Amino acid sequence: MSGSVTASADGVAASLGSCSACQAELSLPFLCEDCGELFRDPVGGLNAFQRFGIKPSFELDLRALEARHLQLSRRMHPDRLIGKDPRQQGRALTLSSALNEAYALLRDERRRAEHLVAVSGGKTADQDKRTPPTFLLEQLELREEVESAQERGDEAALTKARERTQAEQRASRDAVAALFDDAGWPSEALLDAARLQLNVWKYWITFGKELA
């Protein structure tokens, strides 16, 4: 492959160069979409957005993402390379697996949000487990209410708890989306706020699964 291969934070990015097999200009660092030649990932790897050649964003067109995944999967399928260079076959397996992992991540809204915070320079959930003041106390009280309703067989109270949980999940999702959409993203303050809100979102998702 001619030229240097690097991937920037806001897309596939910089100086992809040309394909060493057909000289076509590359739009992805690991695949020539003209002739199908496969290349190793750049040093440092690619994030999930770069894997698809799209700008990091929380709001994605999932139908377009699905179509792109299918298109790239066909181009890199190991069966297409049977009888060809073993190095290309090995790369096809590695790259196909990486593409599938990136696709699964981007299809999940919360995982996509977590990934966007990470690639924007924010902390992961393991690095920062904080929640807003009083949130954990409120969660404890709600769990006690639910346990009491379960013991009483109070289905109306349980239904109300489920409805509240679903509403809180939507509110958390919308709050995160608003932070990503802020003109100041990714400032330190917005990254910090997104981390807190994502932790809250995760709590509500976990609680929702327990109530299901």
In this predicted structure, the answer to whether residue 201 has a pLDDT above a threshold of 80 is yes
Confidence (pTM): 0.87
Least confident range from 8-22, 130-144, 193-207: namely 8-22
pLDDT of residue 209: 95
Q: Please report the DSSP string for the chain in residue order.
A: -BS-----TTSS-S---B-TTT-PBPSSSSB-TTT--B-PPPTT---HHHHHT----SS--HHHHHHHHHHHHHHH-GGGGTTS-HHHHHHHHHHHHHHHHHHHHHHSHHHHHHHHHHHTTPPPTTT-----TTHHHHHHHHHHHHHHHHHHT-HHHHHHHHHHHHHHHHHHHHHHHHHHHSTTTT-HHHHHHHHHHHHHHHHHHHHHHHH-
In this predicted model, what pLDDT tens digit does every residue of 135-175 receive, in sequence order?
A: 999 999 999 999 999 999 999 999 999 999 999 999 999 99
